[in-house]
C-alpha cells in the first residue's frame, strides 16, 4: 500500500502487500497526536503512526500554533478573526463616492481619527466665528456691538461662550448692531448642527457591534466525522457572554475555483452549503436558526447534493476550497445587527476527527452547568474510512 492510497490504517504498521484492511480503526484520544501523526512518512513501503501521546508530542495549543503557521500560507478571503482579505482598487470617483456617504465613511475610521475629527471640528468652528466677531469689533469699534470684546483673545473666548452656551455674563451683544444679532443666530444654529452630528457619530461608533463579535467563538478547525451513519462536516460555535444574540442564524458558503462547460474559469465560484444543528433532519429549512445558550456543533451533511460527496481526504487537502461561515444576529442590548465571521481553508478541515464535549450534563456548580471553554477547540480521533463519502456509503450498504 502506498502513501497516496485512499485507504489505510493509522495505527500499527501496514505492509505494502496488505489489501484486507480498507478503513481506519482508531480509539478516541487527545488531539495532541495530530502533528506527530501527520509527520509520519512512508519508509521502505511501511507507514507507522503513533496513537498515544509521547513526551515529544506537542500540546494542543502548540499543535494549533504549528498548524496555523503552516496553513496561513494558503490564501483566503476571510481571516480567522472575520477580517475581510479583499481590497477595492482602481474605483472611478472613489473619493467622491465616499464623501457622498460621509457619515458611514467617518464611522468606518479608527477611533484616533474619530477623536481628531470630533475635537478639530469644534476648534475650527470656534476659530472661524472668533475671526468673524473680531472683524465686527474691528470695524464697528470696541463695546459697540459686543461688550468686553477688545481683541482676538476676547473674541475667541466670546465665540466659545456663545457656541457652548456658557454665558459667563461679562461678554454679550448689544442692540446697536443688527449684524451681531444675525451672527449670534448663525453660530447658535451651526453649533446645534455640529453637536447633533458629532454626538450622533460618537454614539453610533460606540454602539457598533464589532466588539460584540469578538465574544462569539468559532472552533479553530472544522472536522469530518460520521453521525448516525452520515458523514458530516462540522465546526463549533459558542457565545461566552450571558446576554444573548437574538434571532441568530448561520450559513456556510464554499468558495472554490471552477471552470464552466464553455471553458470560462471562475476563480471564486460561490456555493451555498446546507447547514443544520440536527443532522437527523437536515432538510428542514429552519434548522439554521440558533439559540446559543450552549456551544453548538453546526453540521453540513455530506450527501449526493454536497460538493464534498466525491472528494477523498487527499483531494480535499490539495484543493483550494475555503468555507466562509457567517453568523447573523441581533445584539440584545442595542438591537443592532452583528455578523461574526470566520473561514476554514482545506488545510483546516480535519478528516477523521470529532470535537470533545465541553459540558458535563451530570455536573453542576452553584446550580449551573459548567461550560469548559478550554476544551472548545480540542478534538479526538474517530473511526472513519479514508475514502470519499460516496465510497463510504457504498461500503455501508
What pLDDT, in 10s, does the model give residues 209-223? 888 888 899 999 999
Measured in whole angstroms, the distance separating CA 192 from the mean position of its chain's CA atoms is 37
Give residue 210's pLDDT: 80
Q: What does the alpha-carbon distance between residue 108 and residue 110 come to, in Å, rounded to a whole number?
A: 7
Instruction: Give the burial class of 356: count Cβ atoms within 10 A of its Cβ; 0-12 exposed, 13-18 middle, 19 or more buried.
Output: middle
DSSP state of 357: P
* Domains within the chain, CATH numbers bracketed: 107-207 (1.10.287.70), 211-396 (2.60.40.1400)
Q: What is the pLDDT of residues 244-299, one digit of tens each?
A: 888 899 999 999 999 888 989 999 999 999 988 876 665 555 467 888 888 999 99
Q: What does the alpha-carbon distance between residue 77 and residue 321 come to, in Å, rounded to a whole number?
A: 11
Q: What does the alpha-carbon distance between residue 7 and residue 22 come to, in Å, rounded to a whole number?
A: 5
Q: Which residues of 231-251 are buried (b: 16+ CB within 10 A; e: fewer)?
A: bbbbbbbbbeeeebbeebebe
Q: What does the alpha-carbon distance between residue 234 and residue 382 come to, in Å, rounded to a whole number?
A: 14
Q: What is the pLDDT of residues 102-140, one digit of tens each?
A: 888 988 899 999 999 999 999 999 999 999 999 999 998
Whether residue 198 has pLDDT greater than 80:
yes
Give residue 25's pLDDT: 37
Q: What's the predicted TM-score (pTM) here?
A: 0.69
Instruction: Give the burial class of 319: count Cβ atoms within 10 A of its Cβ; 0-12 exposed, 13-18 middle, 19 or more buried.
Output: middle
Higher model confidence: residue 55 or residue 266? 266
What is the signed CA dihedral for 307, 311, 314, 319, rounded to 10 degrees? -30
Whether residue 60 has pLDDT greater than 60:
no
Which residues, 6+ apart, have CB-to-CB distance to 89 below 8 Å? none
Higher model confidence: residue 272 or residue 143? 272
Q: What does the alpha-carbon distance between residue 89 and residue 208 come to, in Å, rounded to a whole number?
A: 26
SS3 content of the chain, % helix, strand, coil (to 5): 30, 25, 40
Q: What is the mean pLDDT of residues 221-236?
A: 93
Rg for the chain, CA atoms, rounded: 32
Give residue 370's pLDDT: 86
Q: Per DSSP, what are the bridge partners of residue 225?
A: 232
Amino acid at each position: 500500500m502506498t502513501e497516496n492510497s485512499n485507504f489505510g490504517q493509522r495505527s500499527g504498521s501496514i505492509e505494502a502487500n496488505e489489501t484486507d484492511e480498507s478503513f481506519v480503526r482508531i480509539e478516541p484520544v487527545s488531539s495532541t497526536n495530530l502533528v506527530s501523526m501527520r509527520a509520519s512518512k512512508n519508509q521502505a513501503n511501511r507507514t507507522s503512526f503513533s496513537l498515544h501521546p509521547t513526551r515529544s508530542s506537542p500540546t494542543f495549543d502548540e499543535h494549533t500554533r504549528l498548524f496555523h503557521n503552516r496553513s496561513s500560507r494558503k490564501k483566503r478571503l476571510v481571516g480567522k478573526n472575520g477580517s475581510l482579505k479583499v481590497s477595492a482598487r482602481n474605483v472611478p470617483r472613489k473619493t467622491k463616492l465616499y464623501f457622498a456617504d460621509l457619515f458611514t465613511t467617518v464611522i468606518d475610521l479608527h477611533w484616533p481619527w474619530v477623536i481628531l475629527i470630533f475635537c478639530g471640528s469644534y476648534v475650527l468652528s470656534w476659530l472661524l466665528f472668533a475671526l468673524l466677531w473680531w472683524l465686527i469689533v474691528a470695524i464697528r469699534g470696541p463695546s459697540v456691538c459686543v461688550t468686553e470684546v477688545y481683541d482676538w483673545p476676547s473674541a475667541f473666548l466670546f465665540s466659545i461662550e456663545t457656541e457652548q452656551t456658557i454665558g459667563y455674563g461679562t461678554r454679550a451683544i448689544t442692540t446697536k448692531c443688527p449684524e451681531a444679532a444675525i451672527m449670534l443666530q448663525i453660530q447658535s444654529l451651526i453649533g446645534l448642527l455640529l453637536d447633533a452630528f458629532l454626538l450622533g457619530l460618537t454614539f453610533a461608533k460606540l454602539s457598533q457591534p464589532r466588539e460584540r463579535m469578538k465574544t462569539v467563538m468559532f472552533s479553530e478547525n472544522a472536522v469530518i466525522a460520521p453521525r448516525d451513519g452520515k458523514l458530516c462536516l462540522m465546526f463549533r460555535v459558542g457565545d461566552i457572554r450571558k446576554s444573548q444574540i437574538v434571532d441568530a442564524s448561520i450559513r456556510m458558503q464554499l468558495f472554490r475555483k471552477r471552470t464552466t462547460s464553455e471553458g470560462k474559469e471562475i476563480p471564486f465560484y460561490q456555493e451555498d452549503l446546507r447547514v443544520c444543528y440536527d443532522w437527523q433532519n437536515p432538510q428542514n429549512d429552519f434548522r439554521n436558526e440558533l439559540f446559543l445558550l450552549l456551544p453548538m456543533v453546526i453540521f453540513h451533511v455530506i450527501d449526493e447534493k454536497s460538493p464534498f460527496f466525491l472528494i477523498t481526504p487527499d483531494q480535499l487537502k490539495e484543493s483550494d476550497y475555503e468555507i466562509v461561515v457567517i453568523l447573523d444576529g441581533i445584539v440584545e442590548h442595542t438591537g443592532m445587527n452583528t455578523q461574526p465571521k470566520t473561514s476554514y481553508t482545506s488545510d483546516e478541515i480535519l478528516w477523521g476527527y470529532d470535537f470533545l464535549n465541553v459540558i458535563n450534563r451530570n455536573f453542576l456548580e452553584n446550580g449551573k452547568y459548567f461550560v469548559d471553554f478550554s476544551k472548545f477547540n480540542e478534538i479526538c480521533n474517530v473511526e472513519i474510512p479514508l475514502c470519499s463519502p460516496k465510497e463510504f456509503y457504498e461500503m455501508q450498504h
